[in-house]
Chain A
Amino acid sequence: MTLAAPQHRWIDASVDTCEQVNALIAEPVIGRASWRPGRWRNWWVALACAAPFALAFFVGLYWELDQGVGVFGNNTTIVWGFPIANYVWWIGIGNAGTLISALLLLTRQPWRASINRFAEAMTLFSVSIAGIFPIIHLGRPMFFYWLAPYPNVMGLWPQWRSALVWDFWAILSYLLFSVTFWYVGLIPDLATLRDRAHHPLVRKLYGAFALGFRGSAWQWSLHQGLYRTMAGLAVPLVCSVHSIVGLDFAASLMPGWQESLFPPYFVVGAMFSGFAMVIILGALIRHALNLKSLVTDRHFDAMAKITVAAACIMGFGYATEWFMSWYSGERAERSYLAYALTGHYWPLYALMMLGNVFLPQILWFKRARASLPALITVAVGVLMGMWFERILIIWNTLGHGYLPTLWRVFWPTVWDYAVMAGSVGFFITLFLLFVRILPSISMFEVRELAMQERDA
Chain B
Amino acid sequence: MSRFTLIEATGRPTAAAPAPAPRRALDRREALALMTAGVSLAMAGCGRPHEEIIPYVDQPEGLTPGISQRYATTLPLAGYGRGAMVVANDGRPTKIEGSPKHPFSLGSTDVFAEAEVLSLYDPARLQTAMEGSLPSSWNGLDAALLPRLAQHKRQGGQGLTLLTGRITSPTELRLIKALQAAYPAMSWRRFEPVDDDSVRAGAMRAFGRPLTVRPRLQDAQVVLALDADPLGPGPEQIANARAYAARRKPGEAGFSRWYVAEGGWTLTGANADHRLALRPDAIADVALALAAALDHGGAHPPLTPEAQRFVAAAAADLKADAGRAVVLVGRSQPPEVHALVHVLNAGLKAPVDAHAPVDPHPDGHMASLQATVADLRAGHVQTLIVFGGDPAYAAPAALQVAAAIAKAPFSVHFSEHVNDTSVACQWGAPLSHALESWGDLRAPDGTASLVQPLVRPLYDTRTRAQVLDALAAAAVRPSARDLVCQTWATQDGATGAPRVTNAQSSPAAGASRGPGAGATTATVGLTTPQSGRGASGLDEGDAGIDLNATAFDRFWTQALTDGIVANTAAAITAAPAARASVFQPRPASSSFLLALAPDPTLYDGARAENAWLQECPKPLTAEVWGATLAISPADARAHDLTDGDNVRLSRGGQSVVAPVRVAAGQARGVLSGFIGGGRRQGGPIGSEVGWDFAAVRDVANPWLSAVTLERAPAHGEAPHFQALHRLDGDARELSPEITLAALPGLARSPLEKAPEPPSMLPKAESWAPSWAMVIDAELCIGCNACIVACQSENNVPVVGPHEVARGRDMHWLRIDAYDVGQADEHRPAFQPVPCMQCEHAPCEPVCPVEASIHDHEGLNDQVYNRCIGTRFCQSNCPYKVRRFNYYGYSHDQAYGNMGEESVKAQHNPDVTVRARGVMEKCTYCVQRISQARRTAEKADREIGPHEVVTACQSSCPTQAISFGDLETAASGIADLRKEPRHYALLGDLGTRPRTTYLARVRNMNPALGTAAGEITS
B435 interface hit (Cβ, 8 Å): no
Q: Give A398 to B589 CA distance when docked, in angstroms.
A: 49
Closest chain B residue to A144 by CB distance?
Answer: B868
CB contact between A67 and one of B870, B879, B887, B991 (< 8 Å): that residue: B887
Q: Would B816 and A252 count as touching, CB distance under 8 A?
A: no
| Residues of chain A within 8 A of B330, CB atoms compared | none
B520 interface hit (Cβ, 8 Å): no
Q: Would B846 and A79 count as touching, CB distance under 8 A?
A: no
Q: Would A139 and B880 count as touching, CB distance under 8 A?
A: no
Q: Would B868 and A140 count as touching, CB distance under 8 A?
A: yes
Q: Would B917 and A402 count as touching, CB distance under 8 A?
A: no
| Residues of chain B within 8 A of A73, CB atoms compared | 806
A145 shortest CB reach to chain B, Å: 9
A216 interface hit (Cβ, 8 Å): no
Bitwise interface map of A from 249 to 290 toward B, beta carbon under 8 Å scored 1, else 0: 001111000000000000000000000000000000000000
Q: Would A168 and B848 count as touching, CB distance under 8 A?
A: yes
A245 shortest CB reach to chain B, Å: 13
User: Given the interface contacts A75-B807, A139-B867, A402-B986, does A162 sit within 8 Å of B846 by beta carbon?
Assistant: yes
**Chain A, 361-392, CB within 8 A of any chain B CB:** none
| Residues of chain A within 8 A of B918, CB atoms compared | 139-140
A77 interface hit (Cβ, 8 Å): yes
Q: Give A303 to B322 CA distance when docked, in angstroms.
A: 86
Q: Would B868 and A139 count as touching, CB distance under 8 A?
A: yes
CB contact between B850 and one of A74, A138, A159 (< 8 Å): that residue: A159
Q: Give A137 to B814 CA distance when docked, in angstroms.
A: 26
| Residues of chain B within 8 A of A156, CB atoms compared | 849-850, 866
Closest chain A residue to B727 by CB distance?
Answer: A404
Q: Give A251 to B867 CA distance when docked, in angstroms.
A: 20
B725 interface hit (Cβ, 8 Å): yes
| Residues of chain A within 8 A of B986, CB atoms compared | 402-403
Bitwise interface map of B from 843 to 881 toward A, beta carbon under 8 Å scored 1, else 0: 001111110000000000000001111111011101110
Q: Would B878 and A78 count as touching, CB distance under 8 A?
A: no
Count A-side interface residues using an 8 Å CB cutoff. 50
| Residues of chain A within 8 A of B989, CB atoms compared | 253, 402
Q: Would A159 and B878 count as touching, CB distance under 8 A?
A: no
A179 interface hit (Cβ, 8 Å): no
Q: Would B875 and A254 count as touching, CB distance under 8 A?
A: yes
Q: Would A140 and B850 count as touching, CB distance under 8 A?
A: no
| Residues of chain A within 8 A of B734, CB atoms compared | 403-404
| Residues of chain B within 8 A of A239, CB atoms compared | none
User: Given the interface contacts A80-B875, A403-B879, does A69 sit within 8 Å of B848 by beta carbon?
Assistant: no
Q: Would A76 and B880 count as touching, CB distance under 8 A?
A: yes
Interface centre among B866, B876, B884 (most CB of A within 10 A): B876
Q: Would B869 and A164 count as touching, CB distance under 8 A?
A: no
B360 interface hit (Cβ, 8 Å): no
**Chain A, 130-177, CB within 8 A of any chain B CB:** 137-141, 143-144, 146-147, 154, 156-159, 161-165, 168
Q: Would B880 and A406 count as touching, CB distance under 8 A?
A: yes
| Residues of chain B within 8 A of A162, CB atoms compared | 845-848, 872
Q: Would A138 and B879 count as touching, CB distance under 8 A?
A: no
Closest chain B residue to A156 by CB distance?
Answer: B850
A169 shortest CB reach to chain B, Å: 11
Q: Would B917 and A68 count as touching, CB distance under 8 A?
A: yes
Bitwise interface map of A from 48 to 89 toward B, beta carbon under 8 Å scored 1, else 0: 000000000000000000011110011111111000000000
| Residues of chain A within 8 A of B680, CB atoms compared | none
A405 interface hit (Cβ, 8 Å): yes
A18 interface hit (Cβ, 8 Å): no
Closest chain B residue to A251 by CB distance?
Answer: B846
Q: Would A138 and B846 count as touching, CB distance under 8 A?
A: no
A411 interface hit (Cβ, 8 Å): yes
| Residues of chain B within 8 A of A405, CB atoms compared | 722-723, 725, 814, 816-818, 833
Closest chain A residue to B884 by CB distance?
Answer: A79
Closest chain B residue to A249 by CB distance?
Answer: B875
Q: Would B885 and A139 count as touching, CB distance under 8 A?
A: yes
Q: Give A73 to B867 CA distance when docked, in angstroms.
A: 21
Q: Would A254 and B866 count as touching, CB distance under 8 A?
A: no
Q: Would A143 and B868 count as touching, CB distance under 8 A?
A: yes
| Residues of chain A within 8 A of B887, CB atoms compared | 67-68, 70
Q: Would B917 and A74 count as touching, CB distance under 8 A?
A: no
User: Given the interface contacts A137-B870, A253-B842, does A76 sit within 8 Å of B884 by beta carbon?
Assistant: yes
CB contact between A411 and one of B806, B817, B867, B883 (< 8 Å): that residue: B806
| Residues of chain B within 8 A of A75, CB atoms compared | 806-808
B731 interface hit (Cβ, 8 Å): yes
CB contact between B917 and one of A69, A77, A79 (< 8 Å): that residue: A69
User: Given the interface contacts A159-B850, A403-B734, does A139 sit within 8 Å of B809 by beta carbon?
Assistant: no
A196 interface hit (Cβ, 8 Å): no
User: Given the interface contacts A76-B883, A331-B730, A404-B734, does A252 sit within 8 Å of B917 by beta carbon?
Assistant: no
A-side residues, CB < 8 A to B, are: 67-70, 73-80, 137-141, 143-144, 146-147, 154, 156-159, 161-165, 168, 251-254, 331, 335, 398, 401-411
Pairs across A and B, CB under 8 Å, 13 listed: A70-B808, A70-B916, A75-B808, A77-B807, A78-B807, A139-B917, A140-B869, A164-B870, A165-B848, A251-B846, A403-B734, A404-B727, A407-B722
B-side residues, CB < 8 A to A, are: 722-723, 725, 727, 729-731, 733-734, 803, 806-809, 814, 816-818, 833, 842, 845-850, 866-872, 874-876, 878-880, 883-888, 915-919, 985-986, 989, 991
**Can you add 16 more A-B contacts, CB < 8 Å, to A331-B729, A403-B985?**
A76-B883, A79-B875, A137-B871, A139-B884, A140-B917, A141-B868, A143-B849, A147-B849, A158-B849, A162-B872, A164-B870, A402-B878, A403-B986, A406-B722, A411-B806, A411-B807
